[in-house]
Each structure stands twice: as structure tokens, then as C-alpha cells.
Amino acid sequence: MSSTSAEQVPASDGDGSEGRRSFLKRLSAFGALISAGLVSFPVLRAIFPPTARRLKGGNWVKVADDTALLDIGVPIRVNFVQSVDDAWIESRTLNGVWLYTEDGEKFKAYNGHCTHLGCSYFYDKDRKDFFCPCHRGQFDVKTGKVLDGPPPRPLDELEVQVRDASVFVNYKDFRLGVPERIEA
Ligand code: FES
């Protein structure tokens, strides 16, 4: 009788160390799995980076709160900071546009970079045109057309929307130094 009862008891060293070994083996396998995941994730991100650069909140930027407060016939420069996601790195860039209206209803906006080599240009009050000091480029305020100097194309005009008296611009950058307007 006693032999039957002994066969039903599982083999054991009697002090529980077998169970502990098995638990430690499983724990170490789990740890190895987590480590492999942590190492391979950045590697996979480097091999397959996100395809598009995204601007947080889209490209639309508010450049004026109230159209009634804007000067008529005199352009104003508006600077703003944008957050840019490039792969997994977030960076901030300072951009700017020139905003112009002749009637307070319809607006023109130009990218703040000169189309030659990207310098910032300014409004020359005496000549009433835009002037780029880097290589003496000149642009017409009403059309963005090149009046003088080396810029290969007119200023890059941007899409404008007026929403509830606020002015928004669809900000984009373009390739510099070429006659064609190609989005950067
Ligand atoms: S960068 Fe403006 S004229 Fe050269």
C-alpha cells in the first residue's frame, strides 16, 4: 500500500529549488525578449523611417488676429515658430511671411525667404518695394515679380484664408536658386 502512494508523488529534491530554477529560467527568457525588442526598435526605425516630414497642426499658420487692424497698402512681416517632426526628432524653426493687402479684404502672402539664396528681405519704404540686402535683389510688393538683381523667380506666394476676421497662411518652403517653383 505504501508503494502505491509513493508512485503518485512527483519527483522532487524536496527543498523547492527545482521550482525556483524553472522560474528563473522563464524570467531570464522574458528579459532577453524585452532587451531584443528595445535594441531592434530604433534599428528598424532607422531602416524604415517615417516617409513624410509633418508640421504639427498642418501647414496653416495664423498670421493676423483681426483684418481691421492691418495697414492698407503697406506690407507687414510676421514671424512664427513651427514644430517639425523629422523621423523621431522634433525641432523648432523660425519662419516668416510678408502679408499685404490693398483693400483689407483680399490678402497676399509671400514666403519670407528670398528666392535667390534664401536671405530675409525687407520692405523699402522709400522705393516701395522689397529689397534683399544679400545680392541687391528687388521685388514688386503687389505681385512678387523680380524688379532687379539675381533672384531667378518671383517671390513664393502662399495660399491665404480669412476665417472669422483672422488671417491664415498655408506655409511652405520652396527650392532656392532655381527658376521653377518646386516645393522643398
Ligand atoms: S539671397 Fe536675395 S538676392 Fe541673393
Mean pLDDT of the residues in the chain: 82
Residue 98: CB atoms within 10 A of its CB come to 24
35 and 60 both lie in a single domain: no
Domain that holds residue 96: 54-170
Q: How far is the CA of 176 from the centre of ligand 1 (A)?
A: 10
84 and 141 both lie in a single domain: yes
Taking the CA atoms of 169, 173, 174 and 177 in sequence, report the sign of the dihedral they define: positive
Q: Is residue 184 part of a domain?
A: no
104 and 128 both lie in a single domain: yes
Q: How far is the CA of 41 from the centre of ligand 1 (A)?
A: 44
90 and 38 both lie in a single domain: no
Does pTM top 0.75 for this prediction?
no
**What is the tens place of the pLDDT at every residue in 74-112?**
999 999 998 877 778 888 888 999 999 999 999 999 999
Q: Is residue 183 part of a domain?
A: no
63 and 143 both lie in a single domain: yes
Could you give the CA distance from residue 132 to residue 125 in angstroms, rounded to a whole number? 13
Residue 17: the pLDDT is 66
Q: Is residue 164 part of a domain?
A: yes
With a cut of 60, say whether residue 20 has pLDDT above it: yes
Residue nearest to atom 1 of ligand 1 (CA): 117
How confident is the model over 114-143, as a mean pLDDT?
A: 98
For the chain, how far is it from start to end, CA to CA, in angstroms?
89
Q: Is residue 60 part of a domain?
A: yes
30 and 62 both lie in a single domain: no
With a cut of 50, say whether residue 53 has pLDDT above it: no
Cβ–Cβ under 8 Å, residues 179 and 151: no
Q: How far is the CA of 91 from the centre of ligand 1 (A)?
A: 26
How confident is the model over 138-143, as a mean pLDDT?
A: 98
Could you give the CA distance from residue 160 to residue 116 in angstroms, rounded to a whole number? 23
Pocket of ligand 1 (CB under 6 A): 114, 116-117, 119, 132, 134-135, 137, 149-151
Domain count, the chain: 2
With a cut of 50, say whether residue 35 has pLDDT above it: yes
CATH code assigned at 88: 2.102.10.10
30 and 61 both lie in a single domain: no
